[in-house]
Chains A and B, each alone.
Chain A
């Protein structure tokens, strides 16, 4: 697990939104999905996920509904609201811009300065 990256502050919300955007998921499912889409490069403490989920529900970006998991356990499923979808788009754009900019800055060579 040593080569897993630390999560930047503020990025957990974005990851949750992204994970849920592919279809309704329960909490544990979200963790798995984040692991899957990031090639297990990002580490999220299991307990730390839930306050984030509740915050997003409170902000009206996620809605919840109880259902049954694939192995027949009762679980709470999260999915995006319209506001959540919009927020995901904005945050993704922001992130891409920021990432491009930082990437450019870090890869700049002396002669290009």
Chain B
């Protein structure tokens, strides 16, 4: 009766092993490490940096546990903080010859100490949330209205140019909020304009209305196009934020979109909100200038002479110097978009497609007309220092504001260049609407307190269960421990962030999970009290209790899901762990404890009694071993 088939035991054993494996990394603690990431938007880190770092370390007679390339940085782990600091100095000296203009950011960091075989299995420890680690949390709101207004403004300029080029006379163009309003003197001109605009600017939808003696044409952005503008704005802002945050040298920053128009920025370890805000608020600027290819400039390049008056020297991405005129032709404000793609003349060469606004297009056309076969440089300025992103040759006059830059780049370089050009300006202004800083000591205190409460609570429950229900109590406690193990391993597998509300949810889950086992034990006692044989009592107890356990866990799950759906911040952190905990507790309290009971008692054919504590029988009730067909409690007097 109380036998589990072998496959159920296999499932339990498998769950136990997996639980142990994935919980282990959390116990290993952290080791000091050095993290090397890119200090410039134009510089990318790849695996080729690893051997270079290893050489530097060997030269400094330092031994790292390992040096590996991960994500977009290289990490090297050491045994002691002493070695870590020495290594940091050595690497910084080797990679950044000019300390005032660092190409790489070398930062101190902490890495998990778990052995390599665990990491290979993707068994990684949980991230600690800000309230356990200390750090800064911002919630930034993107001003979507401004993004749409900017787009409307750009469209207005484009339309003005377009109508003038095609000689369609109008009585005025203006922008009204996010709408473009055109006025015409007669119907046929308006119809002609509408036809042209629908061809050239497909993102706008036009409605016409008579307005006194004139005709008015109102254009609004199509909903799909508006959404595209908003999505693009937020994505571009996130990218810009990523670049900015990299500069801070923060280990494991979190930059995520939240909802339709908000961005969450979390910087663990940073305490100085002022500095963080300053860096995040800043943007890089983009400039387009002409290259100075005169003889004096060439002489300056080869080192023979000084930089000619009215020009400046900058470095290209590959390090070659280039002389550009000081006069700025276009700035990032005139650049509305930059996308990677392929050269349009059918050669399938990677290219970057730029889109300029009307003013930019006009200027660009004039410049390209007058400077054919000369080079033009696009520069990116960060922290006051500039670098040349790309310096193509002007082949022909380019009007219409659509520019294609191709030649000598791979597809990934094209993507990188577009990214850099877009980083030149924020698509829409951002404002901080929520901000939180937690000091590091508070973080460590929170961890200690959280674990203390879970630990003491668990101990108290364990003592009570074992003394009240004896062996069944021991099984229940083991099931509770298995529950905790599974919960932590699932959270580690999901790489969830552990926060203080998460720890509170773990405590609450354990407190609620014991309910299932109490239900079962009480039911078994009741069956024994009623006179059932021990084996039958165990069987009936588990069966009857299961329906109740299912119902009660589902109702708690409904509450947990509501918190998950509508919660944020504290509530969300709590709800995730709560819901997971309910599911693990259903599995562990029913299946695992039954498995243990079956292992212990199942094979004993003539089981006389089970160790479940005292089964008190009211006077006059039937002795054990006699099964009754129906129990009539009225007879229990």
Q: Is this pair of chains taken from one and the same complex?
A: no
| Chain A residues close to B by CB (< 8 Å) | none
| Chain B residues close to A by CB (< 8 Å) | none
